[in-house]
């Protein structure tokens, strides 16, 4: 029978560890140390992930603001291009249209062969050289002016161009009107000059005809011929005066005319010509 002292001695007596148990205890200690290290690393990793998530959120916010600003700027520029009073066309290197505003689509009449020829001509022509085209339509057609310029900031590998298209129908009409007015002015100056040149010898002819009439016997055939010559000279003189008055913008004066006398004078003037043609 054991005593209490003996039992306690057996219970708390130090035990000697075997070699395998020592290795296991050391490994366990290493594992605990590694676990602590891993836990600290995981905590640091969580902090780093949180920081990166915050930075990513800030970057996403900046990107969203940038995208909204770009979209706003794009809409603003598109509105400006659409509001321009001229057509704007962006061509790629092959001459195919990449971008056109509404005015350009109206002026170039879609993508038919004529429009493609306009684009190809613009690519072949030198930059800033203006070329004019007549575009027919149901209303009789209209005139456009086409000018090409290199696209600023474009890539050297992809040579794009911007084309400005303007309607010049009214401009061409005004030019034709000015040219017509210049011709009319020149014609007026020439007519006035000719009228003055004709008036001087005409006055001399009237004077000599009057002197010749005084020397001829009355009621003779020669006197009748001379009267016809004098009537013709008076008619020619009146025509010259009318030309001068018309181009000098003299106010027209109306006066009564005896129609029977006018008809008799006309018949008398045309009678020699009628007899000559056996009328």
Check: CB of residue 160 under 8 Å from CB of residue 98. yes
Q: What is the mean pLDDT of residues 163-186?
A: 89
Q: Compute the average pLDDT of residues 104-113.
A: 70
Q: Determine contact, residues 98/91, Cβ cutoff 8 Å.
A: yes
Task: Tell me the pLDDT band of 153, cut-offs 50, 70 and 90.
Answer: low
| 93 CB-near residues (< 8 Å, 6+ apart) | 158, 159, 160
* 116/146 Cα distance (integer angstroms): 13
The pLDDT of residue 246 is 72
Q: Which of 97, 118, 116 is nearest to 166 (CA)?
A: 118
Tell me what pLDDT residue 7 has: 41
**Phi/psi at 128 (5° precision):** 65, 15
DSSP state of 134: E
Note the pLDDT of residue 160. 77
- What does the domain layout of the chain look like in residue ranges? 21-66, 84-167, 175-276
| Helix axes 221-247 and 259-276, enclosed angle (nearest 10) | 120
- pLDDT tens digits, one per residue of 58-90: 999 999 999 999 999 988 888 888 888 888 888
Q: What is the DSSP letter of 109?
A: T
pLDDT tier at 152 (50, 70, 90 boundaries)?
A: low
* Topology of domain 175-276, CATH: Helix Hairpins (1.10.287)
In CATH terms, the fold of domain 84-167 is Beta-Lactamase (3.30.450)
Give the Cα-Cα-Cα angle 38, 41, 44 (nearest 5 degrees).
155
CA distances from 159 to 81, 90, 126, 154, 221 (A): 21, 11, 14, 7, 91
Mean pLDDT of the region 115-127: 71
Output the pLDDT for position 180: 92
Q: Which residues contact 160 (CB under 8 A, 6 or more apart)?
A: 90, 91, 92, 93, 98, 150, 151, 154
């Amino acid at each position: 029978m054991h005593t209490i002292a003996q039992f306690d001695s057996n219970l708390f007596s130090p035990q000697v560890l075997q070699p395998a148990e020592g290795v296991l205890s050391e490994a366990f200690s290493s594992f605990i140390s590694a676990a602590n290290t891993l836990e600290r690393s995981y905590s640091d990793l969580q902090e780093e992930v949180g920081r990166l998530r915050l930075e990513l959120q800030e970057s996403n916010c900046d990107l969203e603001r940038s995208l909204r600003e770009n979209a706003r700027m794009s809409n603003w520029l598109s509105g400006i291009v659409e509001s321009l009073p001229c057509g704007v066309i962006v061509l790629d290197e092959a001459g195919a249209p990449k971008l056109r505003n509404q005015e350009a689509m109206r002026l170039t009449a879609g993508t038919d062969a004529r429009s493609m020829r306009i684009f190809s001509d613009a690519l072949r022509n030198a930059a800033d050289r203006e070329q004019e085209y007549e575009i027919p339509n149901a209303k009789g057609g209209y005139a456009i002016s086409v000018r090409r310029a290199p696209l600023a900031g474009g890539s050297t590998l992809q040579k794009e161009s911007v084309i400005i298209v303007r309607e010049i129908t009214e401009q061409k009409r005004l030019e034709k009107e000015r040219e017509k007015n210049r011709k009319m002015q020149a014609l007026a100056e020439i007519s006035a000059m000719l009228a003055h040149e004709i008036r001087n010898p005409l006055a001399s002819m009237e004077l000599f005809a009057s002197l010749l009439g005084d020397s001829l016997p009355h009621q003779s055939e020669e006197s009748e011929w001379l009267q016809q010559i004098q009537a013709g000279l008076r008619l020619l003189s009146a025509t010259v005066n009318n030309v001068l008055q018309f181009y000098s913008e003299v106010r027209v004066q109306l006066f009564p005319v005896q129609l029977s006398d006018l008809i008799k004078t006309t018949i008398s003037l045309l009678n020699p010509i009628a007899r000559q043609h056996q009328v």
